[in-house]
Structure 1
Amino acid sequence: MRLVVIAVGRLKQGPERELAGRYRERFDEISRKLGFRSLEIHEVPESRSRDAATRVAEETAAILARIPEKSVMIALDERGDSLDSAALADRLARWRDQGVANTIFAIGGADGLSPDLRRKAGLRLAFGAATWPHQMVRVMLLEQIYRAATILAGHPYHRA
């Protein structure tokens, strides 16, 4: 199964980018043994529209254009479900074992994801009730993906 993060906005040089890269590299080191083909990150430009609804619509269209068929989508949304790390690992393993080709993680811009995109998601995932900057969400997501892999591998990184 291929994991793909589609995020509105770019990570500029700095600590967030370095940390995101570190978790991605760590995932790559153990992922193939677990049946994960790759972890890809696709950045979608932020809309320049002055109108919030138009921004969300343009960003949603750009995200949807990047989602291949035979995919399950996880929408990062503060109104979503709060899963613990083991539950996320179980969900990824179940989809992998069911032959899902792609698991897509969608991270919206400053105005969030459209209601239509959230409805299409197989899972809406929240990192608590707080609203987080999309750069931080990406770092936290990559850490959770790496942690899920370590749980599935029986690696001591995750100590519950």
Structure 2
Amino acid sequence: MKHQIIVAGKPSLKYAKDGVAEYKKRLTRYGSYDLKHVKDGSSIDVSKRLLDGSQNAIRVVMDERGEQLTTQQLFNKINQWEMRGEKRATYLIGASDGHTQDLRDRADLVWALSPLTLQHELALVVLLEQLYRIATMQRGEPYHR
């Protein structure tokens, strides 16, 4: 399965740039993980860009109002999608205004990384780390403990 992450804006904080670079590098060994940045703006404009970029894919909207999953539960969901023959999952991270209700309604999964509201650069690093963790689990490698 191909994984695409679409995020509003580019990381500007050093820790986020470093974390994104590290996990993108690690993920190259595990398949197709594409990171795309769309122009930041109002929640309406960003949500439209995210919808446009995620057509014909499982849409996973990252939102603090969403379902809280353990790593194992996310691993199981991704495996289920693969068993159903899904070709692509797209993870959507909005800007500081959050997502529109329309975008959340059109998602296959609304996923909260935490009950806390996370700054979107931090959410991106956490998402990439979790995707890396799941990729190692799928291969039976020892990263996941």
TM-score, normalised via structure 2 length? 0.95
Letter in 2 for 1:130: L
Q: Tell me the CA shift for residue 43 of structure 1.
A: 0.5
Q: CA deviation at 1:76?
A: 0.3
Count of aligned pairs between the two proteins: 145
Query: What is the Cα-based RMSD across aligned positions, in Å?
Result: 1.2
Q: Which runs of 5+ in 2 are unaligned?
A: none
Deviating above 4 A after TM superposition, structure 1's stretches of 4 or more consecutive aligned residues are: none
Amino acid in the other structure paired with 1:134: H
SS of residue matched to 1:117: helix
Query: In the TM superposition, what is the alpha-carbon distance from 1:12 to its structure 2 partner?
Result: 2.5
Structure 1: give runs of 5+ residues left out of the alignment.
33-37, 48-54
Is 1:86–1:151's contact at 8 Å kept on the other side of the alignment? no
Matches within 5 A, 1:9-158: 9-12=9-12, 14-29=14-29, 31-32=30-31, 38-47=32-41, 55-69=42-56, 71-158=57-144
Distance in 1 between the 2:107 and 2:12 partners?
A: 28
Q: Structure 1 CA distance, aligned partners of 2:134 and 2:76? A: 8
For residues 16 and 56 of structure 1, what CA distance do their matches in structure 2 show?
22
Quick check: which has more Rg, 1 or 2? 1
Tell me by how many angstroms 1:68 deviates: 3.1
Please give the alpha-carbon distance, in whole angstroms, between the structure 2 residues aligned to 1:88 and 1:28: 20
Whole-angstrom CA distance in 2 between matches of 1:28 and 1:18:
16
Question: CA offsets, 1:35-64, max 9 Å, x none?
Answer: xxx1011111111xxxxxxx1111111111
Q: State how far apart, in whole Å, the 1-side matches of 2:66 and 2:139 are.
A: 27
